Structure 1
Amino acid sequence: MTGLRRPRWRRGVRLSLRVLVVMVIGLPVLAVATTASGFGLLLFGNLPGTVPEENPRIQAQPSYVYDSQGNQIGEFRQFDLTVPMSREDVPQVLKDATVAAEDHRFWSHKGIDPEGLVRAALTNYEQGEVVQGGSTITQQYVKAAYLSPERTFSRKFNEALLATRVERELTEQLGSARAAKEEILYRYLDGVYFGSGAYGAGAAAQTYFHKNVRDLNLSEAATLAAIIPSPSKFNPRENVFVAETRRQQVLSDMLQLGLITQEQYDEARPAQLWHLGFGLPPEGQPATLVFPQTDAGASAYPYFVDYVRRYLEERYGDEQVFKGGLRIETTIDPRLQSLAEAAVSDALAGTSYPREMSLVAVEPSTGFVKAFVGGRDWNVSQVNLGLGGETGMQAGSSFKTFTIAAALEQGFGPSTTYPGGPYNEPGCFRRANVPCEPLGGTGGDMRTATAASSNAYFVQLARDVGPNRIAEMANRLGVTTWITPDGSYTSRITLGQYSVSPLDMATGYATLANHGVRPNVTPVVKVTAADGTVLEDNTVPGGTPVLDPAIADTTTDILRGVIDGGTGRRANIGRPAAGKTGTTDNNTDIWFVGYTPQLVAAVWMGHADGQRSLGNVFGGDTAARTWAAFMRPAHDGLPVLDFPVPGPLPPPRGDGEGGAARRPLRRAPAELPVDCGGPCVRTPSLPAPTTTTTTTTTVPAEPPATTTTTGR
C-alpha cells in the first residue's frame, strides 16, 4: 500500500489535533506539529514526576493610588478580603454551581478534559478569536497554586501536565478519585477571585451577601459561581443585569446536568438579583439581595478610585491591580474634586436617596479627568453613575450638540431654517396605530433653535442629516459606551432618547473644546510596576483629530447662545462658555454639559433607578446652576480666554449616503460652505476674541426664570 495517501479522515484527525492545540493554547502550528503523542500521554498516560510545592498563599503587594498632588487616595489589595473557611464550610450547592459554571465533566476527567478542549477549539474557530480556554477546574487551580499567570505554551503545557499529576497524587494520598476531586474543588474555591477584592468563597459570601459561606442558598451560590470567569464583567454590584443573566444560566446548567431538581430550579429562578443600594425590593417580590460595599477602601474619592480600578483592570487584569504593587498616579485635582463634591451636595440638599447626581470634569487639552462625582454616597450605593451606572441615562437635548456637528459636516449651516412646531415626523408611532406626540418649539435658523432647544427644529434637521450620521458623529467625538455608528436609530436620536454616561458626554464636548481633536480621556497620569517599570505614561498628552477645526469651533459658537440668552442662562459664569441643557420625557434625567477653553463639565441629575420623574426640574435650572456653582470657582486664578473665531466651513463630507446632495433647498445661498459658518459676530456683552488675558470679569445677575419644556 506504499505510495497511497492516507485516508482523508485520518489526515483530518491529525489536523484537528494541531488546530485544537493552536486554538486553545494559542501556539503557532509549527511549534506543536509533533505534539499529538505527547497530548495523548497527557490524557491517558502516567507521566513520571512529582507535584512541586504550592506557591505561598499571599504573593501580593498592595497597589497604591495617588492624586495629582501626590497624596494617597486609595489602595487595591488582595488580602484584606481573604476569609478562612474549612472544607466542611463549603455547601454542596456551591460545589455544584461551580462545576456547572466552570467544568461540566469535572467529576469524570483526570485533570484535563478532551471534550472541553474540543468544544473550546470549535468555539474559538467559529468566533475567530480565543473566547474559551478549555481549562478544567484542576488546571485553573494548578495555574494559581504552582505557576505564573504568563500566557505561553510552556506555561500552558506545564499546567496540563501538573493537572494530571495533582489528580493522580491526591487520588493515591486520599484513597479515591472522588476524595481527590473534593480536595481540588475546595482548594480552588478557597483561593479563586470573585471580584470586589474578595479572594475565596468565604470572602465572597461575606462581601456580597453578609453571611458565612456555609449558609449560602442555591441562588446565591449560582451568583458566586457565575462571577468566576470574569469578575469585573459579572460583578453583581457593578453590572447587576449582566450578573442576573449569568445567574440564570448557571441555574439552567445545574438543572440540565441533574445537579438540582426542577422544583429547586423553579424556586430559585424568580429570585432575581437586587442591589440593596436601590433600597428594599418591592414587597412580595422574591430576590437575591446583594449588599453595598461598606468599606470604601480607605479612599478619599471612592467613585473616582472605582473608575481608576476598572480602567486598570481592563488593561492589566485583576491579578496585577490587586497583587502587583503598582504605583498609580492619577489625574484627579483635589481642589476641583472638592468643588465638585460641594456643588453636588448643595444641589441634593433637602432630597433623599434615590435622587442622585453626577458631575465629571475633563481638561480638554490633556484629556485628564480633573473631578469625578459618581453619586451621592458610596456607602449607600456603589453604582457608579459617572460611568453611566447599569444601563446609562438618556441625554435629552444635550445630545442635539452632535446633530449640529453632523449637520455642519454634511453641508448644512447655521442659517439653515425649519418651521416650528407642532411637528410630527411621518411614520413615527409610539405603538401600533398610535402616532408619536407632536413636537413643539420655535422655528428659525440653527442658532435660534439651539438657544431655545426647539425639538421640532432638531427632529427635522436630524431627518435630513440622517440619524446614523448623528450617531456616528457622537461616537467619533467620544460617546462610545452605548452609542454605536451602525445602530437602528430614528430622527428622535437628536432628542437624546438613547443611553450615555456623564464621562461620555464630557469626552464628546471636550473634543469640541479641543477644536476637533479627541483627547485621550484618562484618570491615570502614570502607572509604575513594583520593579520600577513604567507600564503607562500619559504625561505627554495625546489626541486624535476626528473633526475639522472649523466645524468644531462653529458648533462651539452656536452653543454659546444657549448660555448667553437661551435655556442655559443660569450657567452664565461671567466668562466665555458654551454648553447645552437637556431634559428627558417625564423629567427623569436632567443635564447641563458645557465648557470653557480650559475645562469641560457634564452634570446629570435623576433617580438611581432611572424610572421616576424629578417633577418640575429641568436641565436649564438645577443642572445649569450646579454646573455654574462648580465652574465659577474652578476657574479662579485662570486667565479669561475666549474661543477662536471659526474658520470657513469645509466642503460637505461625501460619505456614500448622499453627502452634499442631501442639502435641503431651504438653505440660504449665502450659507453655502464658503463662509465662517454663519454670522460669526460676538455677543456685545462678551469680549472680542483675544489672546490670554488676566482681566477680572463681573458675574452678571442671575437671569429670571423661564418656562422650559420636555427635551430642553
Structure 2
Amino acid sequence: MFRVLRWVLAAVGALVGAPILVAATILVTLLYYPVSGPLPQPVRSSFGTPPSVVYDDGGHIIGQLSAAGGSNVPVKDAQIPPVVKYAVVASEDRGFFTEGAVSAKDLLRAARADLNSHAPVQGGSTITQQYVKTVYTNGSRTLGRKFREVVLARMLAQKLSKKQILDRYLSVVYFGQEAYGVGAAAQAYFRTPVSKLDASQAATLAGVLPAPSQYDPLFNLDAAEQRRETVLDLMHAQRYLTDDQYQQAMAERLTVAQPGSAASGPVTLVYPLQQPTTKYPYFLDYVRQYMEQRVGYNELYHGGLRIQTTLDPKDQAAAESAIAAQLAGTKPPLQMATASVQPATGYVAALVGGRDYNVSQVDIALGGCPQPEPPPARLIVQATCQAQPNSVVLGGGSGRLAGSTFKPFTLAAALSAGISPQANYYGPATYDAPGCGGVCVIRNAEGGSAGNYTLTTATWQSIDTVYVQVLKQVGIKTVAELAKRLGVSTAYDESDFGLSYTLGTNPVGALEMASAYATFANQGTYVPPSPVVRAVDSQEKLVFDNSHPRGTRVLSPSVADTVTQILQGVIQHGTGNPNAVIGRPAAGKTGTANGPYDAWFVGYTPQLSAAVWMGYSNNDSTPMLDVKGVQVFGGTYPAKAWHDLMTTSLAGLPPANFANPPPPGVTANVLQGLQAGAARTPLSSGGEAPTSQSLPPPTAVAPPTIPTTTTTLPPYTAPPSTMPPNFGSTTTIPYSSGGTGATGPGPPAT
C-alpha cells in the first residue's frame, strides 16, 4: 500500500511541486483516506541494541556511542508520575486528551511554512504522530514519511487508548544526553528514579523535547531555564498545577551540580552525564552531534555502526599539549580552545573544547549560534545555524568575538571588488563611524599608530581605522555573505555594530574559523569541516560516506592566493611576529576583542589550518590584563599555542609552498574581471558597494585528488557490555534526591 502511495506522491510531486502538494496531501489524508488494517512492525526496538563504535583515522577505537539511558532504564506505566505526563501534554500537545490523532490546524501551519521555505522545515505533529515517527518511520523529513506518519497515527488511535499512547511515547522519546525514554532521562539529568520526579524536573524534561541539543541544560543552561519556565507557565495556565505548586516550582531554578559542593536554596539540580570517559571527550561529542544530524538518532544509537573519524592522535596530542602549556600556572575560568582542519578535505584532525570536559561539557571550539535581534530590526544576512540548523554542530556556548581575525573576510571581499593590495589609506588613531546606535569611535586594538598604510601593511599591523574604511567601500552585506560562504555562521542585521562589523563583533567558534582560513589555503574552494570519513552498520552496509569530500568554489584562486600572500606578512612582519613563526611557509591573523576579552590566532599552511582562542569562559567582559604578567593579545599566548600545535603536527612533513598570486599591477583586473578603479565607484545609499561589485555565485568543485583516507575497520563483533579499559575513569557527583511528584487536576477519562 505505502509503496504505491510513495510512487504516486513522487510522480505528482514532480509535476506540481512538493510544497503545494504537502497541504493537499494532508487534507486528502485527513478527510478521505481509509485507515483500517494492521500496524506495521516497528523500525527499531528501544532496548538491547549495540552501541556504535568510533575509531580514529588509523582504525583504533576511541569511544562508543549508545543510548545508555534508554537501553538500561525500562519503566512501567504506573511508575511515571502524573506531573510528567501533564508537563509533556501541556508543552507538546495541549489538545491530546480531547482531540484526534492528527491536528489539521497544526499541519496546515506546517504546510504553510514548508511552502514559504520551498522545503519541509516545520513539524505540526501531535504526540501520537511523534510516537509513530519515532517507532514506525525512519524520521526523514520527506513528504512520503509525513503521509505515512499521518495515516499510521490515525490507525494507532483506533487501536490504543490515549493513556496507552502517552505511556508508550514517554518510554521511547529522545530527551538528549543519549537518553531515550523518561526513565533514562530522569537518571541522566537528575540521577533519580522517574517516580520521584517533581514539577520542576518534569517541566525541564518536557522543555528539552522540541530540540534536545538546543535546550540541554548541561550545554545551554539559560535556554533550558527559559524553557522550564515556559512549560510551567503552560501547566499552570492549563490547570495542571495549582497556584502554590506553580510558585514553588518556578522558584526552583536550574543549577548544574558541582563536585564536592552542596547547593543552597530551592534549586533543580542537573547532573553531568555519568558514563565512562573517552580520551577525546570533546571530539567524541562532536562526532555524536554530527552523526545525529546525518544518520538520525535511531541509526546512530541502535544501528551498531562502526564510524571511522578524521581524528589524528598525533595532531590531537599536539593540540592538547599546546593548550596545556599556555594555560600552565593559570586557573579556571580562564580557558583556551582550538581546532585544526585539513584544507583539501575539510577533515578535522584535532579539537579541544576547553580545559577539562569533566568540569564543563560546553565545547568552546564549536561555538554557538548568533541570535537575530527582535523586530523592528531587519535581518540582512541570516546565519547558517538559523537558516539550516542541521548543517551546523554547536558547542552549547554562545561563541566568542572574532576580533581582527574577521578582517581577512573584508580583505577578500575588497580584493574581489578590484581594490588593489597596494591601495593607500590614512589610518588615524581614532575613526568616527556610524553604527552602534549612533557614532562608533574606532581605535586600534592590537597596535599600529596613526599614519599612511596600504591595504597590505594595514593587514600586517591590524589597523582597525583602515579596515572600517575598506568595509565602507565594499559593503557590510557583501562581507557578511562572503564570511557565510566561507563557513562562518555569521549574521548581519540593522541593529549590528555598523562598520565595526569588520572588527569581529559577531561570535564565532575555533572550528569555523580554522575551516574558513583553510579555504584560503585551498585556493578559494570551501570544503565543509567533517569529523567523519565513513560509517558502516553491522551488516557492512555503508550508511555515511565522506571519503571523497566535495568542495565549493567561493573565491577565485587569485583572490585566495593574494589573501594568503598578505597574511604571510602578518607572521613575517606584523602582529604574529615572532611567536607565530614556525620555520615554513605559513599565513595567519591575530585577533583581539577590546578589553582584551577574547584573543585569537588563526593560521595555516598548505597542509593544515588551525585556530586558537583564549578568554574567560564564564563571561565575555573580564579583561585579560595580567595573565602570568602579560596583557593578552592574539600575538601572545594564542600565537604561541598555534606555533607549538603546528610545529608538532607538521613534524616529519616536508615544507610546502603556497601558490603564487597574480603579479602586482594586474591584480584588480585578474581577480574578478573588473576594471581597475571600479572599487572607487561612488557608493550607493547605506554604504553598500554597487551591484557590479557583488560576489560571483559559488560553484561546485570536483573532489580533490588525495591519497586514500579510508581505513579497514575490524570485522563486526558484538560490543562488550562495558567500555574498554582505556576509556579512562568516571567522575561521580554525590547523589541528591529530586523531591516528590506533584499532583494536578488530572486528564479527562480516556
Q: Are the counterparts in 2 of residues 467 and 489 from structure 1 also a CA contact under 8 Å?
A: no
Q: Greater CA radius of gyration, 1 or 2? A: 1
Give the secondary-structure state (helix, strand or coil) at the position aligned to 1:370: strand
Residues 1:228 and 1:38: Cα distance change in structure 2 (over 3 Å): same
8 A contact 1:147–1:159 mirrored in 2:
no
Partners of 2:41 and 2:546 lie apart in 1 by 42
SS of the residue 1:535 aligns to: strand
Change (3 A) 1:53 1:80: closer
In structure 2, distance between residues paired with 1:282 and 1:163:
45
Select which of 178, 186, 207 maps to 1:226.
Answer: 207
C-alpha distance 290-24 of structure 1, shift in aligned 2 (>3 A): farther
For residue 410 of structure 1, the aligned residue among 417, 420, 426 is 417
Cα offset, 1:501, TM superposition = 0.8
Q: Which residue of 2 is the match for residue 378 of structure 1? A: 357
**Paired amino acid for 1:406:** A
Q: Does residue 436 of structure 1 match 2:441?
A: yes
Q: Measure how far apart 1:421 and its partner are.
A: 2.8
1:475·1:484 contact (CA, 8 Å) conserved in 2? no
**Equivalent residue, structure 1, for 2:404:** 397
1:160 aligns with 2:153: yes
2:23–2:111 Cα contact (<8 Å) kept: no
1:90 is matched with 80
**What displacement does 1:135 show?**
3.7
Q: Which residue of 2 aligns with 1:332?
A: 311
Equivalent position of 1:587 in the other structure? 596
Does 2:623 correspond to 1:613? yes
Partner residue, 1:660: 679
Whether the 8 Å CA contact 1:575–1:640 is kept in 2: the answer is yes
The alignment status of 1:511 with 2:519, answered yes or no, reads yes
| TM-superposed deviation, 1:489 | 5.2
- Judging changes above 3 Å, is the alpha-carbon distance between structure 1 residues 482 and 265 closer, same or farther for their aligned structure 2 residues? farther
Q: What is the match of residue 51 of structure 2?
A: 62
Q: Contact 2:69/2:185 (CA < 8 Å) preserved in 1?
A: no
Q: Which residue of 2 aligns with 1:599?
A: 608
Q: Which amino acid aligns with 2:581?
A: N
User: In 2 relative to 1, CA 624–599 (structure 1 residues): closer, same or farther, beyond 3 Å?
Assistant: same
Give the structure 2 partner of residue 523 of structure 1: 531
Contact kept in structure 1, 2:139 and 2:145, CA below 8 Å: no
Q: Which amino acid aligns with 1:404?
A: L
More displaced, 263-272 or 76-85? 263-272
Paired amino acid for 2:580: A
1:99-248 equivalences in 2 (<5 Å): 99-109=89-99, 111-113=101-103, 117=107, 129-141=119-131, 144=134, 152=145, 155-156=148-149, 159-167=152-160, 180-248=161-229
What is the CA–CA distance in structure 1 between the aligned matches of 2:261 and 2:414, rounded to whole Å? 46
Match of 1:568 in 2: 576
Asked whether 1:625 is paired with 2:632, we answer no
Checking the alignment, whether the CA contact within 8 Å between 2:433 and 2:499 is kept in structure 1 is no
SS in 1 for 2:361: coil
TM-score (norm 1): 0.79
The 1:465/1:425 distance shift into structure 2, 3 A limit, reads farther
Distance 1:358 1:260 in 2: 44
Kindly, what percent of the aligned residue pairs are identical?
Answer: 42
Greater displacement, 466-475 / 111-120:
111-120
Aligned counterparts of 1:153 and 1:561: Cα–Cα separation in 2: 55
CA distance in 2, matches of 1:53, 1:505: 43
Deviations 1:315-355 (A, max 9, x none): 22111111122221111111111111111111222222222
Q: Quote the RMSD (CA, aligned, Å).
A: 3.6
Of 545, 550, 561, the residue aligned with 1:542 is: 550
2:236 is aligned to: 255
Q: Tell which deviates more after alignment, 26-35 or 501-510.
A: 26-35
- Asked if the contact 2:405/2:590 (under 8 Å) is kept, the reply is yes
Query: Structure 1 residues 623, 163: closer, same or farther in 2, change over 3 A?
Result: same
Residue in structure 2 matching 1:341, options 306, 312, 320: 320
> Relative contact order (alpha carbons < 8 A, sep ≥ 6): 1 or 2 greater?
2
Q: Tell me, in whole angstroms, the C-alpha distance in 2 between the residues paired with 1:558 and 1:38.
A: 67
Consecutive unaligned residues in structure 1, runs of 5 or more: 1-17, 168-179, 665-712
CA offset digits 1:492-550 (Å, max 9, x no partner)? 11211111111110011000011111123211111223332323322223211111112
Do the aligned partners of residues 486 and 410 (structure 1) sit closer, same or farther apart at CA in structure 2, a change above 3 Å counting? farther
Q: Is the 8 A contact 2:215 2:227 kept in 1?
A: yes
For residues 195 and 541 of structure 1, the distance between their equivalents in structure 2, rounded to whole angstroms, comes to: 29
How many residues were matched structurally?
622
Match of residue 281, structure 2, among 302, 305, 322: 302
> Which residue number in structure 1 is paired with residue 430 of structure 2?
423
Tell me if the contact between 1:393 and 1:610 (Cα under 8 Å) persists in the aligned partners: no
Amino acid at match of 1:311: Y
Q: Which SS does the other structure have where 2:282 is aligned?
A: helix
Q: TM-score, normalised by structure 2?
A: 0.75
Conservation of the 8 A alpha-carbon contact between 2:23 and 2:108: no
Contact 1:25-1:153 within 8 A present in 2 as well? no
3-state SS of the aligned residue for 1:425? strand
Provide the C-alpha distance between the structure 2 equivalents of 1:523 and 1:327, rounded to a whole number of angstroms: 14
Q: Please tell me whether the aligned partners of residues 69 and 180 of structure 2 are also in contact (alpha carbons under 8 angstroms).
A: no
Which residue identity does 1:361 align to in structure 2? S
Alpha-carbon deviation of 1:233?
A: 3.5
| Cα distance in structure 2, aligned partners of 1:207 and 1:382 | 14
1:446 aligns with one of 447, 455, 458:
455
